[in-house]
Structure 1
Amino acid sequence: MTRVDFYILSGKHNRLGFVSKMAEQIYRQRYKLHIHTTDPSMSGQIDNLLWTYRDISFVPHEQFQDAVPGAPVTISHQQEPPNHEILINLATDVPDFFSRFERVVEIIDTEDSQRRQGRVRYQYYRDRGYELTNHNID
């Protein structure tokens, strides 16, 4: 069954910056990652951040519509990726395909709407019996 991790950020953390850090860690552990976004604009932001996040790091990634088979990290706002192990969900709702992944990462920042939407997603997973773990990031 899919494991779901909620990362609750304090005010000193930037949500998209934290996504870049998580993507780098996941890539270095050799897992296949898909980052699910809300729209083309956010997909573009994540794409740019993964290129510029740190001077000394590189996370090979592609927007899903341009991805070659086997790309270790893909980004999309609408398409379901094949053969990935970890999903970072940045969308406001739970994607229909989440249960195909071994692990789902939900990142919640201090913005009120983010917290409300995060609570709804938490309840969705909990009501369906998924293993949930909270990580408070200070």
Structure 2
Amino acid sequence: MTRIEFYVLPDDNPLGRLRAACQLAAKGWQHGMQVFIRCVDEEQSNQLDELLWSFRAERFIPHEQDADDPQAPVVVGIDQAPPFAQGLLINLASTLSSHLDQFSRIIEIVNQEPQLLTACRENFRLYRRQGYDPQRVEL
């Protein structure tokens, strides 16, 4: 069954969520997983793409926008179906992906922004209703 975790950040800084996504994508890629980062919109997707280029000066994170190369080790997109099965989904959107069954692991990144907290609590309940056992991880 798909492993689902909610990584909870201690503040409401939106850039902190993007940095956490970069760290988790790097870790997933280093462990041999295909990674799909699901963004809210095109603006966030572009911002994350730029951050991935400069995130680690000592190590490159191989990534592409979904439109440019959906087969890249780390793919940044919005809600496209992943071209790979059993990879890692890092969800930055406030809704569930329509492709849950195509991932072996899903990470939701939560910060303390009130609207996001409300959306993520609802996502937690929705995962449970669908038979998943989501876990909470404090960062």
- TM-score bin (small chain): over 0.9
5+ unaligned residues in a row in structure 1: which ranges? none
Deviation beyond 3 Å, 4+ runs, structure 1 = none
- SS of the equivalent of 2:6 reads strand
TM-score of the pair, normalised by structure 1:
0.93
Query: How high is the sequence identity, in percent, across the aligned residues?
Result: 33
> Are residue 91 (structure 1) and residue 81 (structure 2) matched?
no
Preserved contact between residue 79 and residue 98 of structure 2 (Cα < 8 Å)? no
Deviations for 1:71-108, whole angstroms, at most 9, x for unmatched residues?
A: 11101113211114110011110011112100110000
Query: What's the CA shift for 1:135?
Result: 0.3
Count of aligned pairs between the two proteins? 136
RMSD: 1.4
> Are residue 76 (structure 1) and residue 77 (structure 2) matched?
yes
Select which of 37, 49, 52 maps to 1:50. Answer: 52
5+ unaligned residues in a row in structure 2: which ranges? none
Seen in structure 2, the aligned counterparts of structure 1 residues 41 and 128 have a Cα distance that, compared at 3 Å, is same
- SS of the equivalent of 2:108 reads strand
TM-score of the pair, normalised by structure 2:
0.92
Which residue number in structure 1 is paired with residue 3 of structure 2? 3
Which residue number in structure 1 is paired with residue 39 of structure 2? 37
Which residue number in structure 1 is paired with residue 66 of structure 2? 64
